[in-house]
Structure 1
Amino acid sequence: MAVKTTAACDQPLSSSEQHASSCNNCTTVRCTAASPVDTGLSTERAARSPRNCHAHPNQAMLNDPIIPPEDRLPGALRGAGARPPIFWKSLLVIMALIWGFSFYVMKEILDTLPPSYMLAVRFLVSALVLGILFFKRIRAHFRARTLWWGMLLGALMWAGYTFLSLGLVETTAGKNAFLTGTYCVMVPFVAHLVTGETLTRYNVGAALLCLAGIGFVALDNFSLATGDLLTLIGALFFALQIAYMSKAGTNFDINVLTFWMFLVIGVLSLNLGMLTETAPPSSAWTPSFVGMLLFLAIICTCVGLLIQNLAVAHVPASTASLLLSLESPSGVFFSVMLAGELLSGRLLVGFGLIFFSIIVAETKLAFLFRTSRRA
């Protein structure tokens, strides 16, 4: 899954971009039409107010009702509310690389453990970890609306992972990685329908470039078998989950929401596994096998998806989808490094297309326009 940086004027701004900026000794508040909370204050009047002339540069941010209490300190911001957009984008790139490596790990696990049981272990362990870490928050936010959104997002992600895992059993790892990556093309369109996020020609063009690049990297041919179709269905559910997560992320405690998502995925997967699959024998649970499961549960799931949900709440959904699309080429990269696959010209072309798609989505080629105007 992939993302991008600074929101342009044709896109809703992330919460980290809706903060005040200091100019000389006065605080000027940036006006945003897409802010989830309308304070009812005139930003121009607030900037001219004498009380603001010697205020702390972050005073407007400290008064921003969007920022949760846990991200505030006297006279300063900390936590998610204080992070610049590049911070969240960097985290998304790192997680995309880790998830690319997880394709190799999942393929190894599925040789022993059926898909639903794998998902049950992966997400129940993650829910347990989050439950311990954020018990007080979960108890404080135990409300019907939080449970509803947690169940909705969890069900969407459960469907995505279930179809992805079933597809991985039936098709090759390369096809699975490519077809899963198609959600980066679906997200801007789904987000446009769900949240009203503006769809620009740069979003569309960058997504198509990214799709072509992933095809060069991970697709051997364009035949669509049963496993390919299952993976495409999973990609659609991932796109829906990202769009709805972007919509709900600024209204809930993300840690609490992620806990309920993991718990729902784990419970649904366990029930499906008990009904349709055969559990592996006890001899299969070797230390190395348990270690791979813990890597999926702790690093890829608990840490990874928590970081993703936090970041998606601070950047546009279409931007996040593009950055996270690095998951597919990184999967091929680790396959080359660990399995000894040759790096062909087709792979190099694919990496180049994906890199260029991120530049287009990130900058909208503004640096080219500035150069032409100077000339």
Structure 2
Amino acid sequence: MEQMGEALRQTQGDGDVRSRDDSTHEGISVSRTIARLMMLVNAAVWGSGYTMLKHVQGVMTTQWMMFFRMAASVILMALVFLPHLRKIGLKRYIVPGLMLALTYWMGFLLQLKGLETTSPGRNSFFTDTYCVMVPFVIWALTHKRPNMQHIAAALVCAFGIGLVSLSGTSGSDLIGMSSGDVLTIIGALFYAINLVVVGMMGRKFDAVALMLAEFAWCAVFFGVGAALFDGSPSASWLRLDVVLCLAYLVIGSTIIAQIFQTIAVQNLPTTEGSVILSTECIFAMVIAVIFTGERLTVPSVCGFAVIFGAILLSEVQFPARRKAK
């Protein structure tokens, strides 16, 4: 999951994941076909973002990269949503934004630290396991037990991760999970916690303002971490390829993706939108294979297919059985 473009997500009912970046501001009506296309574009943009991130990481440190990305995103989103934000008292969003940012920042940090030592395709599939974790986080926070469908999805997901581990790390011949894979899965847990907390807050706060506050705090956390541990920024980072990748992540994965999803989610059922967005990991793997030469083995392909099946199982709502008279 390209987490930058998915800041605001909500939980509904028994833990069903609502499409990311769901917003409460004035809706725009489009046909279902256009809405589906917008969701598919979102998935493709977020999926391709993993390869962009990996490329930038080869030039600059992870925390500086995320500071520049988050800061630019906050500025651009503030400009895009300025008419909406003028109607809102932003001071009341400082503390809620901080609470959300702690889990979002940890999720990002662990996912991207994992990406340093694993491939974009593996990173994307392991990140998207947050969908399977959400019902269990809800259970931990609200004592609402997951149903059998969620438990089955978790077991299927664990089996898929086991298959992927047989393919070794980053397509090599080594058997087992790399440290990057493990960090990515832990990062997915923080994303799941963030999603649930957003869902709990979503009815009390404006979605756009809450997301903006969350991003602003994340920019502060990454900036402080970079200044303390990564040294000073380097002029050598001002390369055209790096600037273009960052621009893609900020404008494409954040601004355009946010607008597309905000519109599309208002015109599609939650489950349908979530299923379309779950194809993000497939796009990430295809792009990684094409542009980074990521190698696929039979166990890894089977494992990714099983993980994707688990994600779908956790997202899709099956019709309830009618009780016998």
TM over 0.5: yes
TM-score, L = length of structure 2: 0.74
Tell me how far 1:121 sits from its aligned partner.
0.7
Give the equivalent residue in structure 2 for 1:140: 87
Paired residue secondary structure (2:255): helix
Q: TM-score, length-normalised on structure 1? A: 0.66
Give the Cα separation in 2 of the matches to 1:312 and 1:248: 19
Tell me, yes or no, if the aligned pair for 1:112 and 1:280 is still in contact at 8 Å.
Answer: no
Find out whether 1:110 has 2:84 as its counterpart.
no
Alpha-carbon contact 1:174-1:220 (below 8 Å) kept: no
| C-alpha displacement of 1:255 | 1.3
Three-state SS of the structure 2 residue aligned to 1:140 is: coil
Shift of 1:349: 3.2
Matched, 1:167 2:167: no
Distance 1:105 1:217, change over 3 A: farther
- With 197-206 and 303-312 compared, the bigger mean Cα shift is at 303-312
Q: Is the counterpart of residue 11 in structure 1 residue 25 in structure 2?
A: no
User: Alpha carbons of 1:96 and 1:219: their partners in 2 closer, same or farther (altered >3 Å)?
Assistant: farther
Name the structure 2 match of 1:125.
72
Which residue, out of 101, 114, 117, partners 2:48?
Answer: 101
Please report how far the alpha carbon of residue 230 of structure 1 lies from its aligned counterpart in structure 2 after TM superposition. 2.8
Query: Which residue does the alignment assign to 2:152?
Result: 205
Identity of aligned residues (%): 28
Q: What is the total number of aligned residue pairs between the two structures?
A: 307
Out of 257, 266, 282, the position equivalent to 2:210 is 257
> Which range is displaced more, 320-329 or 144-153?
320-329
How far apart are the structure 2 equivalents of 1:216 and 1:130? 40
Which structure carries more relative contact order (alpha carbon 8 Å, separation 6+)? Answer: 2
Separation in structure 1 between the aligned mates of residue 269 and residue 154 of structure 2, nearest angstrom: 14
Change (3 A) 1:231 1:185: same
Separation in 2, partners of 1:151, 1:303 = 25
Amino acid at match of 1:299: G
Q: State the secondary structure of the residue aligned to 1:193.
A: helix
Q: What is the alpha-carbon distance in structure 2 between the residues aligned to residue 272 and residue 336 of structure 1?
A: 32
Gaps of 5+ in 1: 17-66, 72-77, 371-375
- Name the counterpart of 2:99: 152
The 1-side partners of 2:272 and 2:140 are apart by: 16
Kept after mapping to 1: 8 A contact 2:15/2:134 = no
Distance (Å, rounded) in 2 between the aligned partners of 1:156 and 1:210? 23
Give the counterpart letter for 1:124 in structure 2.
A
Deviates most, 103-112 or 306-315:
306-315
Greater Cα offset, 213-222 or 170-179: 213-222
Contact 2:139–2:146 (CA under 8 A) maintained in structure 1: yes
Q: In terms of mean alpha carbon deviation, does 219-228 or 273-282 score higher?
A: 219-228
Q: Alpha-carbon deviation of 1:148?
A: 1.9
State yes or no: 1:183 paired with 2:130. Answer: yes
Deviation per CA, 1:294-316: give whole Å up to 9, x if none.
Answer: 11112113343576688899999
Taking the aligned partners of 1:333 and 1:359, their CA distance within structure 2 comes to 19
Q: What corresponds to 1:227 in structure 2? A: 180
Q: CA deviation at 1:115?
A: 0.6
Contact 1:92–1:324, Cα closer than 8 Å, also in 2: yes
Residue range with higher mean Cα deviation, 159-168 or 102-111: 159-168
Gaps of 5+ in 2: 169-174
| Rounded Cα–Cα distance in structure 1 between residues aligned with 2:190 and 2:94 | 20
CA contact (8 A) 2:74 2:212 kept: yes
Q: How does 1:1-375 map to 2 (within 5 A)?
A: 1=1, 11=14, 71=26, 78-79=27-28, 94-194=41-141, 199-213=146-160, 216=163, 220-221=167-168, 223-304=176-257, 324-341=277-294, 345-346=298-299, 348-350=301-303, 352-354=305-307, 356-357=309-310, 360-361=313-314
Give the counterpart letter for 1:206 in structure 2: A
Specify whether residues 153 and 362 from structure 1 end up closer, same or farther in structure 2 by C-alpha distance, changes over 3 A only. Answer: closer
- Per the alignment, do residues 219 and 329 of structure 1 end up closer, same or farther by CA in structure 2, a change over 3 Å counting? farther
CA distance in 2, matches of 1:356, 1:122: 32
* Structure number with bigger Rg: 1
